[in-house]
Structure formats: C-alpha cells, structure tokens
Structure 1
C-alpha cells in the first residue's frame, strides 16, 4: 500500500483539531461536527441579538428617566417661583407655610377696636385688588365655606395641629368643605362681602388657645409679611 502524502494530517493531529472544533484547510469535516459548529454559531448569534435588545431597552429606559428628570426639574423651577411669589424662598421640598397673597398692602391690624368692628379686631387685613387669588398658608383641610354674616364669604382652613385659618370677605371660593389642600393652593379670591369698606382679605389665625396675631404667626413660620 503506497504511503500517504506528508502534508496530510496524521490521525492524532485530526483528533486534536476536531477536539478544538477546528479543521485543517481542505480537511474533511464529519457531518456531526459541521452540525455542531452551525448550532454553536446560531446560539452565539441569538445571544448577540438578545444582548443588543437588552442594551436597546436599557437605552430607552434611560432616555425616559432623563425626560422625567427634566420635567421634574422644570416643575421644580416653576414651583420655586410660585412659592417665592408668596414669600417663601427656601427649598420647595421643605416649605411649611406661605403668605396668603402675592400682592397686598397691610392695613388694619390685630387687636384694634373702634366703630368699624362689632368687637376687637381679631385678624389682619390685607388690602388687595378684587379677584386677587388667595392661597392656603399651609397644608390643611377645608372645614367651612359659607356666608358668615359680617365676615362675608368665609373659608376656614384647619391645619394638622388644630389651628384654624379664616379667610374672610372673599368674592368667591375655589374649594369645598372636606377638601384637602396643600400649601400655596388657590382657595378663593379677594372680595368685599360682609361688613367691608373695600376689597381686602381679613385673615384670622385661631389656635386651640384662641385668636393670635396673624402677623406673629406668619413670622413664626419664617415668613416676612
């Protein structure tokens, strides 16, 4: 029997190549080896496609998160501006109280007596244009919206500690009894209903111990009315 050409791999070399999943150039690949290689390539391709899909999904998620973050930042800038209009200039996330009006002139104060009032003046008057928005000075629950005789249209906001804030002489109310409101939410409008000589907000602050000077209460909240 003639000798095999020298370039042909030996049986041992072929075994080594097959064991590595490789074949020498021009060498014969057994059908089962070819099927194995095709399966490995298909699996690798599927894994690559799956990885690409995961990366694309993560990129979409990050894009959505960035958009929400941008929207939140824009809202935060707007919220900061609103709070600044009502006398609060700190961190919007830490706000506890604001002033009831963005624009006003301080007029009759707490404790005055005279012919304009049936008894001692238990509130603070803020002169403002009719229709000027009135806002909640703090978080609370609306416990009354009604015509209150000399107080005119009155909204009472009750705070978590039991303090009542009275908004009187309003032209209209934007809230209803039982409604939860948050600091700086609009609750009504300046008017001249009831015993009033002109458009203004009569604000009273009544703690469980009685009426207190609204200006002192607002200052205690870190505001400068």
Structure 2
C-alpha cells in the first residue's frame, strides 16, 4: 500500500503543478495581449519598454525647428484623442506632476537607471510624486495644455536627467517600432 499511496500523492502533486502552470499560461497570455496593445511583441519576461499610447499618429519629431518651438523640438509628438490613456513606458518612480509652462501639465517618470521620461500636455494625471509605477500602468491622459496646437503627447527621454535624446531611437533600442 505504501507504494500505491506514494504514486497517488505524486499524481495529486502533478495535477496541482499542471493547474498552476495552466493558470500561469493564462496570465501570460493576458499579459502578452496588454504588452502587444502597447507595441511589444516579444518575450514577456524580456520586456524593457512599451509605447506610451495604444492608439496614435506620429506628428512633430525630435530635432525639428521652426516657429512652433523656442528652440529645437526636444521630443516626439504622438497625436491622439484628448483623454486617451497614457501608460508608463517602463517601471519607475514619478518624480514630478506639475504645470510646466509651455509643456503644460507634465509628469516625469524616473527609471531605475536615472533616465527621465517626460509626458507633456496632459489633460490630467492619475499618479502622484513618489509613486512607484509598473510598465503599462496608466499615469494620465492626452491633452492640449501649455503651448499646443491640439491634443497630443509630447514625449521626451532624458538619460541621466540630462539633455533630451530622440525618443524614437530610444524606443527602437528597446525592441519597439513606433
């Protein structure tokens, strides 16, 4: 009987493990769908960043000059409907939520490596300073505050909190194709 009891116990353990594996698969499938909504189609365990919006058109790009800007355009504009949710492109800590002159309502997300990601012209913010956010957490919504010609997200990426770099290159370096 002892051998039969051991076999039955192991079968029950195997059934429990299979159930947990199936639940993890279902969870991963849902996670994959969320990541795909924000432009990431690779291994969910290897994701480094996602796009800040699910639906957008690219408009003014990095480095443009002209009458719309005081200097070079320091970010990438994503035209979208007012109120569209903006998500955290990566895990980080919210280090600013404030009106910032021409940037309008701006949220700054600081990533673990010190990179700042600026979300500008927001209608509202759903986060507060000091809040830790995870990849794809909603942080606010698209708006047209500050110097703006219509609803859009002005996204800036500033490594080590320094000068802005091209957000498109930064996103592509993380496996995304905006």
- Judge same fold: TM > 0.5, yes or no: yes
* Gaps in structure 2 of 5+ consecutive residues: none
CA offset at residue 119 of structure 1? 2.4
SS state at 2:30 partner: helix
Q: Is residue 2:136 matched to residue 1:179?
A: no
Q: Does 1:98 align with 2:50?
A: yes
Partner of 2:151: 199
Q: Which residue matches 2:98?
A: 146
Deviation of residue 162 (structure 1)?
1.0
1:43 alignment counterpart? none
| Change in CA separation of 1:174 and 1:58 when aligned onto 2, cut-off 3 Å | farther
Q: Secondary structure at the match of 1:155?
A: strand
Shift of 1:64: 4.2
Specify the alignment match of 1:88 in structure 2: 40
Partner residue in 1 for 2:122: 170
Q: CA RMSD in A?
A: 2.0
**1:61, distance to aligned residue in structure 2 (A):** 5.2
Count of residue pairs brought into register by the alignment? 176
Q: 1:215 aligns with which of 153, 160, 168?
A: 168
Partner of 1:30: none
Query: What is the Cα deviation at residue 63 of structure 1?
Result: 4.5
TM-score by length of 1: 0.71
Check if 1:72 corresponds to 2:24: yes
Q: In structure 1, what is the Cα distance between the partners aligned to 2:81 and 2:20?
A: 38
Tell me, in whole angstroms, the C-alpha distance in 2 between the residues paired with 1:181 and 1:221.
19
Structure 1 residue runs without a partner (length 5+): 1-47
Q: Partners of 2:97 and 2:13 in 1: how far apart?
A: 46
Which structure's CA Rg is the greater one?
1
Relative to its length, the structure with more helix (as a share) is 1
